[in-house]
């Protein structure tokens, strides 16, 4: 599997906490290196919580053993980058921001006024 990670275009501004869906994937041949790195990351997240995003929904597999999702909340891009660096290249990681629909509708309605 090629090393890959994507934080997207989202910018965390003004100290806002942004929620993300994290999609993850690992090739079976990378598990011997990747799983220990992930377990080390979990320990590090407990020791240094400000350095990493926080889990809202822990990792779940989606239909198979080697792919899954979780939901995290981050204060800044550095937390997402730290997470990615801790588990790549074995894990393919992609963060997708979650948009609060009520805020989006409110902003849309203001543009229509």
Instruction: Give the mean model confidence (pLDDT) for residues 21-32.
Output: 96
Q: Other C-beta atoms within 10 Å of 80: how many?
A: 24
pLDDT tens-digit profile of 33-91?
999 999 999 999 999 999 999 999 999 999 888 999 999 999 999 999 999 999 999 99
Containing 22, the helix (H) or strand (E) segment is strand 18-26
Q: What is the rounded CA–CA span in Å between residue 69 and residue 57?
A: 9
Cis previous bond, 89, omega within 30: yes
- List the domains of the chain with CATH numbers: 5-112 (3.30.70.920)
Q: What is the rounded CA–CA span in Å between residue 32 and residue 23?
A: 20
Longest dimension (CA), the chain: 57
Instruction: Say if residue 97's pLDDT is above 60.
Output: yes
Confidence band for 11, pLDDT divided at 50, 70 and 90: very low
The model's pTM:
0.78
């Amino acid at each position: 599997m090629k090393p890959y990670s994507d934080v997207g275009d989202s910018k965390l501004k003004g100290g806002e906490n942004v929620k993300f869906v994290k999609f993850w994937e690992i090739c079976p041949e990378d598990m011997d290196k990747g799983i220990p790195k992930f377990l080390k990351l979990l320990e590090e997240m407990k020791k240094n919580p400000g350095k990493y995003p926080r889990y809202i929904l822990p990792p779940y597999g989606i239909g198979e053993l080697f792919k899954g999702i979780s939901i995290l909340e981050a204060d800044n891009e550095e937390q997402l980058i730290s997470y990615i660096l801790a588990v790549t290249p074995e894990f393919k990681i992609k963060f997708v921001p979650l948009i609060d629909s009520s805020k989006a509708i409110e902003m849309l309605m203001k543009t229509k006024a």
